[in-house]
Structure formats: C-alpha cells, structure tokens
Homo-oligomer: A and B are copies of this chain.
Amino acid sequence: VNARRARRAHRRTPNRGHRIVEAAIAILDAEGEGALTFRALASHLATGSGAIYWHVTSKDDLLAASAEAVISAVLAAVDGSADPKKAIRAIALGVFDAIDAHPWVGTQLSREPWQTAVVQMFEGMGGKLQALGVPRRARFYAASTLVSYVLGLAGQYAAAARMLPQPDRAAFLGTVADRWVALAPEKYPFLHEMSAQLRDHDDRKQFLAGVDLILAGIASL
C-alpha cells in the first residue's frame, strides 16, 4: 500500500521526491549519518515530518535512493569503451572516490547489496570479463569477488569516517599503529612488521593494489 502510494506520487511530482533525496544527501554530507532525521529533514525542507512519507516509503528507502543517486552519477561518467582492465579500474576508483567524498554511501552499499547501485557495479565490472578472456563458468565468481572487495573496503572507510568528523585520518592511523606496536611481538609479528606501512600508506594506492591483485588472479584463469 505504502509502496503504491509512494510510486504514484513519485510519478506525479518527481521534483518533490528528487528534492527530498537532494536534501538528505546535503545533510548526510554536512553532518554525517547520525544527523539524518525525518525531523531535521522536514525543517530543512520547511514542511512537516509526516509529509516526507508521501514521497518516500521509509528511512531505508530514502538512504537507498540517496546512495543510488550518488553511484549512478559515478557509473554514468565512466567511459565504457575503454580497454577492459582500465574500465574495471575506472569503475572501482569511481566508487572509491565517491565513498571518500560521501562516506555514508559506503555504509549503505554494504547494508543492502541487492540494491540498484550494487547491481550496476556488478554489471559494469562483470561485463568486461568476457573481453578479458575469462571463461564463462568463472565470470560469476570473478565479478562477485571484485564487487565484494570494493564493498569491503567501502565499509572500512565509511567506518573510519563515521568516528572521525574531522579529517585527521593520519592521526587516527598513527593511533592504531601504536596499538599494533604495543601488542606482544611474538604473538603478532606481522602487525609489528606492518605498523610502519599502516602509518604512512596511501588509501587510494592500497585500494588499487587490491583491484590489480584480483585482476592478476583473474588473468591466471
């Protein structure tokens, strides 16, 4: 019932629904996930809080629509005609940068992986596998590995951003690295060895290195 209501209204007044999503994105970007409230949204739009339910089924629906708006724009901007490896990298990097700019998108993508935004990623990356020479049987697994990896790192950046309103990410990484060093070296030799790299690694490079690692694995099929 609610779904039909919302759909019908969405057809008649697409602007209103669009403006609601826009306002939600503005709040999420400016004040974080915790600040998105139907009351805050209503006062931002100068209406009653109940009015929003005419255009949107629920808060989950609103979050999904907001994330989809961000990701669709990113995927539409990727040049599909490029070399397949480059195209896969471009999609992955586009999603990464979008999540860097809007960390709440990361939370949302990993919360509802069957939503349109994720499905579009699956199609975008998976569609390039045939041109890479990946056998038919292996394409499903290869595409799902790529998507899972992107979603996994997306969630991690979102989590870091959630607890860091200010962008002092370097300081935070230093704190975590200190904690690694404080652990017993004989129980955690790898963490000790890696603490320096955690401290001054480059997020974007690390992300791309993972994509390339998976692509190298795919090439071996």
Which A positions have Cβ atoms within 8 angstroms of B? 110-114, 119, 122-123, 126-127, 129, 136, 138-145, 147-156, 159-160, 176, 180, 188-191, 193-194, 197-198, 201, 206, 209-210, 212-221
Nearest B-chain residue to A130, judged by Cβ: B190
- Contact of A140 with B198 at beta-carbon distance under 8 Å, contacts A126-B190, A188-B123, A190-B127 already known: yes
| B210 contacts A148, C-beta separation under 8 Å | yes
Interface centre among A150, A159, A193, A213 (most CB of B within 10 A): A213
Residues on B with beta carbons closer than 8 Å to the beta carbon of A193: 136, 139
CB within 8 A of A209: which of B122, B145, B176, B219?
B145
Report the Cα distance A197→B126, complex, angstroms: 13
A7 CB, min distance to chain B CBs, angstroms: 16
Residues on B with beta carbons closer than 8 Å to the beta carbon of A150: 152
- Contact of A141 with B210 at beta-carbon distance under 8 Å, contacts A114-B176, A123-B190 already known: yes
Report the Cα distance A122→B36, complex, angstroms: 33
| B148 contacts A153, C-beta separation under 8 Å | yes
| A142 contacts B110, C-beta separation under 8 Å | no
Nearest B-chain residue to A197, judged by Cβ: B140
Report the Cα distance A213→B143, complex, angstroms: 11
| A216 contacts B209, C-beta separation under 8 Å | no
| B214 contacts A213, C-beta separation under 8 Å | yes
Report the Cα distance A219→B100, complex, angstroms: 30
Q: List 9 interface pairs A-B (beta carbons < 8 Å), by A numbering.
A: A110-B155, A111-B155, A119-B191, A127-B189, A139-B190, A143-B190, A145-B210, A145-B214, A214-B214
